[in-house]
Structure 1
Amino acid sequence: MSRAQAKRTYSTADLAAQTSGVECRKDAGVIDEIPGAYKDITEVMAQQQDLVEVVAHLKQVVCVKG
């Protein structure tokens, strides 16, 4: 999804919900970075299962932007 599309699609409430448990900005200035604007990593990795071996799953706890 493009940055402009993310800004039209999501609200700051969506951003707060999707980044619950992550220490980060949750204002309109970073709404284009909302997790929902990106492909699901589980699906991406599943499509590459013959190319890669998953050895760990990481959980984001902090994000610093602008």
Structure 2
Amino acid sequence: MRSKDHPKSYYSCSHGARRRMNRNQAKKQCTIDDWIAQTSGVESRKDEAVLDEIPAAYKDVDAVMAAVSDLIELVVKLKQILCVTG
């Protein structure tokens, strides 16, 4: 994304949107099978030690971008292929 130089955003862009679940919630609510399904096509560890980083613990990127569309210009959308955690 690129900033539209709006004063509401301090002439900058968002750098994150916070998590939907904290790390403990993710570990309690999600399973290793959820992790495997949600990281299909992504090279990553597939074990309990990284379960707190499950994609479901994060906000939907499309919804976040839509929420700040008056402040940013979308330039390109990247697809994750590798996750290095731990």
TM-score normalised to structure 2 length: 0.75
RMSD: 0.5
Shift of 1:65: 1.1
Q: Which has the higher strand share?
A: 2
Aligned length: 66
Equivalent residue letter for 2:64 = V
Structure 1's consecutive aligned runs of 4 or more residues displaced over 6 angstroms after TM superposition are none
- Secondary structure of the 1:15 match is helix
- Secondary structure of the 1:36 match is helix
> Are 1:16 and 2:16 matched, yes or no?
no
Q: Which structure 2 residue ranges, 5 or more long, are not aligned?
A: 1-20
Q: Which structure 1 residue ranges, 5 or more long, are not aligned?
A: none
Match of 2:73 among 24, 42, 53: 53
Equivalent residue letter for 1:56 = V
Equivalent residue letter for 2:52 = D
Q: Which has the higher helix share?
A: 1
In 2, the alpha carbon distance for the partners of 1:45 and 1:7 equals: 26
